[in-house]
Structure 1
């Protein structure tokens, strides 16, 4: 169901002014471009719109370099200002437990994770402002609050925002006109000024600068700042003072250069996984599918899983790519698909990881054997990003997705239908040939950022024939055919879906990697194993860091900066740890490595570490698995 443009109830002149005011609020100058998706989101929010992730992806994708002011105006014409119904829909989504109330915790969670983050006290003040009965909750079941409070608050906030932005724009334009007059006057008097020498100087008055504060916090945000036109003075960045550092803390080359490196055997010589149970056919097997995705904002993402055991058992877990041969790097190196097994809560020593895949066979399958107590565990797949990388360029010509017959009826092309069928297979995590509501929700979360509501699922039930209350492949394609028929000539929404699932303009998957996950448990008469997909999340680097630091004692590079290295036959991972109270930069030079593919964009780069921060510096893997590979790195702490 595509989004269509709606006309605002303002004149074209007012509309243009509002767009310009919102744009200037974020970018400062209409002659400059919006340079990131986050800035586009802020500008649209300043204009009274609340775009979903899918809407943003429609206008900002991996090939977008910038959006001009004219482009922004066109976007605002297509995407209408947030309506009361849309606000109520969003309001209900925040109510995670479905009790009809918004608690402080629920409101705090949503308003401290999106856009310009708010403090808990600011959220508390929002609730206090409209909480009539003093129970600390917002109630949307009461008709009075629905219409008179929530919607009026939304409209009032949007109106206040537009008025504030217009006033700021007026001040900016007046300042520009004044500056031009001064420049003109100065040009005409240039000779006089020059003759006066040092008697005349130009001073700037910071207290008179026009305010250009950040984006609107939230549509639920109410109240104004004490001075809505003042410019907050940014905090000055702390500098490293020589008087605060010891001699050891000063930059100098690392004592650990790894000049010789560590030579690894070709991964192509790897055989079967030695830990794999010989009698695994007698073990209970549970299978699921999943996928790694490249996200422009969040980096590498993956499906995550929960494993529940009702009694102690040995568990053998394998994960391997389930992709066509055409996606194998150089026809020899499969995209790495690894996995971490973690507890729901850390132990007394702060450890969460109970096992991770270290070994793999020659076909790309990784495995790990664990002895697990009864309880619940997280299974966190991960990939290094050495071989699964964001595309650097895309085809200039898009593959046709729709076509029209002689009667003007829209239908999808064979190529698009094939891609939709592949996406269906990716989304069918349990492999039963149909999509459950949960599986359809994972698909919509990935492509639009929204969960499937009861009303939306009811539309699905009324639209396509279901099998055991699940969507068939035919029904899934039909839903997308209906969307294609509804978009007229604007197919940008269709491309958002394809791009989100890793497809390029040639309808080839190059920014995603599907995988297969198998869990084997020793046979027990009354053993119960439940493997559940819990969502699509950013790869958990903290858990990877924990595994590396558990395996290596670490080497002091300089001062309070330490390096930890983990290496096996197919992967080398380096972690940096800054134990000091100051930020430091560490240069990493891996140019002397042989036959290696690095997870960074370049083999020579700089890592910035905040005080007491731990960070993955890089992963290295063999570029060609039929040959020897030698990872090498030279490190140095700099200012």
Structure 2
């Protein structure tokens, strides 16, 4: 997603094109061509060259592609475009995408100047490294200072360690140029793949004709070891037809983590959080989560528990979800919670005991989320609003959203908690300007908003001429509320951290929209590789780990193999059912070790086969 979108986002009705900037934008691609042609190329590159059949299936794909063409409408405008052209829930086709591009102006220099001023926090006419880091991180994707410094150096022409306005313009145009180059490279790669596929098809046809009388050879199988085929009487490395069996068929026995005997004397911090299914990507099981920084001033024993929030605390929540969490330090896993908590192994809570040194730790809850969904059971949607008034059912949904955001459960939302609400509903920062506007709209007590004020805020928005009842529905949907006005796409949990020696530790909640996905994925992959079993499959090594709560599968390619990812096919048809694998599932293995799947078996024991699937 375009990193600058949150900085110079605008409504689709605003902004006037400047031909000079448009000319620079077209010239940045190297091959020229009209804006319409560029937008069409971008679409075909994203969905395949058969534009009559290809569609952008998710909101994220649609949003990223619109921004990739140099347009930067607000998230609210993007969602309105998406809902308008995706009314049948089949995605956005080429003609609809081109219509959006015609309606939405290309970003102008005036808007870029406004964006520059917005991130120039000290108004000195330059972007320092700190301001540059903050700007790049504002889109939700984290970036290190080292990465930002290297990027800044590329556009810092005079070498003064900062960006002036013209260098900033070059940076943005460079982003568009990279997008165009990526699209053109993708088209060339597609063309090459087609030629290779035609050549292989002709070769296979000739081979079939020559060997039609030969009987097929059996596929070799192996369990936890390298599969091989016999070639000319000697053993050879596994080929594209190799297959391995994953899983032992036995689920490890759960051993409950009992609380310390003197737990009442320990210092305690308690917060709430939630898993949230991306309402536009529920088919891909993209689940966001609250996350936390645990800051310890001294060495201490810790006892951490996590459990579902009682259903009676939320009126509309009708969801189930697996729960889990891991502790990280400097991006590396320190501990992964895989045990029930309390005195009974059947407890819904999970717990972890650890001995930690001083410093900052990332506490990252995670889940598979296979039971979270956005489907409604009734044929007719319930009314959240009527004649621009919020119904009782709509207010109940708002009250539960309020409770989700109230992480410390003190009955009010402070600015940090309101930031979470604002980011999830609009993907925008709660800037000082927005915060001051909020103060003028509703009454705050000690710079915090109570439930009555929170509902009143939505009431006032509905009364605005440019705010529709559809916008209100979008806000509810962003928090996992379906058309039955039930919260089936979100799941709330309670997290408790206890420390024996460290009395003044901090537990700070982070924004779910900025969940460090890469840190968790790499950490769990490393954990799986270290603790689990392995098998060789073609040019890949698969690692898997079975625990009492779930199954992890990681993989990596041999260092000497080609750089392109290898495609594997997981087949669960002749084995125990797994909630996240419906008969077959494709996965792609890269050179670096990464987490491929995280599963919750729905029956005791777990096995299925993995096969290389040639392109």
Q: Same fold (TM over 0.5)?
A: yes
Cα distance, 1:564 vs structure 2: 2.5
Cα distance, 1:368 vs structure 2: 0.5
| Residue in structure 2 matching 1:291, options 274, 277, 280 | 274
TM-score normalized with structure 2 length: 0.72
Partner of 1:339: 325
Aligned length: 527
Partner of 2:307: 320
Q: Deviations over 1:230-276 (max 9, x none)?
A: 99862456999999xx9213134445465x711567xxxx79x3332
| Residue in structure 2 matching 1:534, options 491, 507, 510 | 510
Q: Deviations over 1:56-103 (max 9, x none)?
A: 334337973223566457756876665777545543554589876324
Asked if the contact 1:334–1:364 (Cα under 8 Å) also holds between the matched residues in 2, the reply is: no
Mapping for residues 5-404 of structure 1, pairs under 5 Å: 6=13, 23-27=39-43, 34-36=55-57, 37=59, 40-41=62-63, 44-45=66-67, 49-60=71-82, 64-68=89-93, 71-72=96-97, 75=100, 87-88=112-113, 90-92=115-117, 94=119, 101-103=126-128, 107=132, 124=153, 126-128=155-157, 135-139=160-164, 218=172, 234-235=188-189, 236=192, 247-254=236-243, 256=245, 261-263=249-251, 273-295=256-278, 296=280, 299-322=286-309, 324=311, 334-344=320-330, 346=332, 352-360=333-341, 361-388=345-372, 390-391=373-374, 397-404=380-387
Partner of 2:536: 557
Cα distance, 1:520 vs structure 2: 0.8
Structure 1 unaligned residues grouped into runs of 5+: 11-16, 140-144, 158-216, 347-351, 405-409, 624-628
Q: Deviations over 1:110-137 (max 9, x none)?
A: 679979x999988656553xx7xx6342
- In the superposition, relative to structure 1, how do residues 57 and 366 fare at CA in structure 2: closer, same or farther (>3 Å)? farther
Instruction: Give me the whole-angstrom Cα distance separating, in 1, the residues matched to 2:529 and 2:176.
Output: 46
Instruction: Give me the whole-angstrom Cα distance separating, in 1, the residues matched to 2:54 and 2:295.
Output: 50
Q: Deviations over 1:127-173 (max 9, x none)?
A: 53xx7xx634235xxxxx6xxx69xx97xx9xxxxxxxxxxxxxxxx
Asked if the contact 2:422–2:429 (Cα under 8 Å) also holds between the matched residues in 1, the reply is: yes
- In the superposition, relative to structure 1, how do residues 555 and 121 fare at CA in structure 2: closer, same or farther (>3 Å)? closer
Instruction: Give me the whole-angstrom Cα distance separating, in 1, the residues matched to 2:353 and 2:93.
Output: 54
Partner of 1:566: 545
Asked if the contact 1:312–1:374 (Cα under 8 Å) also holds between the matched residues in 2, the reply is: yes
Q: Deviations over 1:365-414 (max 9, x none)?
A: 111011111211110001023333x446786643323223xxxxx32222
Q: What's the C-alpha RMSD, in Å, of the aligned pairs?
A: 4.7
- In the superposition, relative to structure 1, how do residues 7 and 285 fare at CA in structure 2: closer, same or farther (>3 Å)? closer
Structure 2 unaligned residues grouped into runs of 5+: 1-8, 18-32, 45-49, 201-228
